Amino acid sequence: MHTDGTFAPDSLEAAREQYESVGPAAQTVVREVARSMDFDREEYGERVTSDVVETAREALFASLLEVTVGTREEYERWHESYDGEIHEIGSEHVDRVVWHAAPNGEAVAATFQNEEDAALATLRRQAYGRLYEDAL
Judgement on whether residues 72 and 118 belong to the same structural domain of the protein = yes
Which tens digit of pLDDT belongs to each residue from 9-68?
A: 999 999 999 999 999 999 999 999 999 999 999 999 999 999 999 999 999 999 999 999
Judgement on whether residues 19 and 51 belong to the same structural domain of the protein = yes
Distances (CA, A) of 60 to 10, 85, 111, 127: 18, 25, 23, 13
Judgement on whether residues 48 and 79 belong to the same structural domain of the protein = no
Judgement on whether residues 52 and 84 belong to the same structural domain of the protein = no
Average pLDDT for residues 63-75, to the nearest whole number? Answer: 97
pTM over 0.85: yes
Judgement on whether residues 55 and 77 belong to the same structural domain of the protein = no
- Give how many domains the chain has, as a whole number: 2
Domain range for residue 45?
12-63
Which of 40, 63, 86 marks a domain boundary? 63
For residue 88, give the amino acid letter: E
Judgement on whether residues 95 and 53 belong to the same structural domain of the protein = no
Which of 63, 80, 96 marks a domain boundary? 63
Which tens digit of pLDDT belongs to each residue from 27-37?
A: 999 999 999 99
Judgement on whether residues 55 and 75 belong to the same structural domain of the protein = no
Q: Are 110 and 98 in contact (CB under 8 A)?
A: yes
